[in-house]
Structure 1
Amino acid sequence: MKKLLLLPAMLLTGAAHAQTNALKVDIFQPVINTLAVSFEHKLSETSSFQIGLSGTFSYSEDGDSFTNESGRKTSGFAITPEYRLYLSEKHPAPEGFYVAPFVRYQYLSQTGFADGYYSGGGAPSGQPYEASLNAFGLGVTVGRHWIFKQRFSLDIFAGPAYTVTSISSDNAAIDKDYFVSYFEGTNYDFRGGVTFGLAF
């Protein structure tokens, strides 16, 4: 009888020390009206797969404090699958230091005015436009994933990326400089973040 009573307790204890998944939220993305979540699944003692999804919701830039209007508004989404190779000998995946190659697709749509600013009277000083950006990228990050009390996940990562973009707009003057985190004249990019979540 005692053995039967101990069995559920042993199973629960084992489950508490065998997290194979983590659901996380990037804590800095809300600064640009973006919600970024990721789901990581353990593949082996040294590897995992993660899928990241993000959505940007009417991020406004170049606002006029007198008219309370915005020069640009951007919305869109991104998807980022990655493979993580864990390097720590002390902790099995998904905990410890890791290297993670990834690919990324992002779509952004934007409305605004060509120069992004308003004149003193509140009338737009540039021409209104609509534009969209498609971006395909790949890169690699290095990071550290902690799991506290067998339940809480903290993940910090950063690394370089190479991204190819295409712009579609009704105004020929619009380039990727108009989109946050994209710089005209270079395809090199940087990806980084801090996420917090639950492991289970």
Structure 2
Amino acid sequence: MKKVFLVMSLVAALSIAKAQDGGSNAIKINPLSLFLATGNVAYEKATAANQSFQLGVFYSGVKLSSLKYTGFGITPEYRFYLAGHKEVMDGVYLAPFLRYQNFKIKDTDTKEKVTFSSFGGGALLGWEKSWSSGFVLDLFIGPAYNSGTVKAESGSNEEHFDISGGIDGFGLRTGLSLGFRF
């Protein structure tokens, strides 16, 4: 009974918030990232009539035999809505972004571990559509640059690698997100 009351209270609070602020928040997921065993969630908040701030986070984890892969990242971005309705969460936008990523592959049998971490940024061109039902569709693409390091550990030995080609340097960030505006 407590859970039912809690859920009903949450729905009521979200409904009131939507009525009061005209839907200045959105929670979104990237369903395509599930094919890569990754959960990707973003929260977008309006900061002006045609600008918003979005914070995205992801976590990934897979274990195959003795290999265990984990990763996480955080991506803040600021969006400027320029065309279409020229309002938050409804139209074409430009968005500069930053991104931090950290990935680990560990062999549980040999205790060898490889860690990759990177920091970078870029700019997106996107299109976001909000419907009166609250449903949100967000499509984006843009150039990105990452600067990263790879560190391998084998027992007490540690090695650093010079990396390039896809994970260190220029790349492309693209995606599709689905969510709800409230």
TM bin (shorter chain): 0.7 to 0.9
**Aligned letter for 1:99?**
L
| Post-superposition CA distance 1:133-188 (Å, at most 9, x none) | 111011001110011224101100111101000111126597758xxxx736x511
Superposed CA RMSD in Å reads: 2.8
**Aligned letter for 1:85?**
F
Separation of aligned partners in 2, 1:75 and 1:87: 37
Gaps of 5+ in 2: 1-15
Gaps of 5+ in 1: 1-11, 61-68, 114-126
For 1:37, the equivalent position in structure 2 comes to 41
Gap change, CA 1:103 and 1:197, over 3 Å in 2:
same
How many residues are paired up?
A: 162
For 1:88, the equivalent position in structure 2 comes to 83
Separation of aligned partners in 2, 1:148 and 1:76: 33
Between structure 1 and structure 2, the one with the greater Rg is: 1
Could you tell me whether the CA contact under 8 Å between 1:133 and 1:176 is conserved in 2?
no
For 1:187, the equivalent position in structure 2 comes to 169
**Aligned letter for 2:27?**
L
Separation of aligned partners in 2, 1:109 and 1:133: 6
Structure with higher strand content: 2
Q: Pairwise mapping of residues 42-121 of structure 1 onto structure 2 (< 5 A)?
A: 42-58=46-62, 69=65, 72-88=67-83, 90-112=85-107
Q: CA deviation at 1:38?
A: 0.1
**Aligned letter for 1:15?**
A
Query: Structure 1 vs Structure 2: percent identity of aligned residues?
Result: 30
Q: Give the alignment's TM-score, normalised by structure 2.
A: 0.78
2:38 counterpart of 1:25:
no
For 1:164, the equivalent position in structure 2 comes to 147
Q: CA deviation at 1:75?
A: 0.4
Separation of aligned partners in 1, 2:63 and 2:30: 17
Gap change, CA 1:91 and 1:85, over 3 Å in 2:
closer
Q: CA deviation at 1:46?
A: 1.2
Q: Give the alignment's TM-score, normalised by structure 1.
A: 0.71
| Post-superposition CA distance 1:24-83 (Å, at most 9, x none) | 0001001111000000000111100000010001265xxxxxxxx47x542011000000
Separation of aligned partners in 1, 2:63 and 2:116: 15
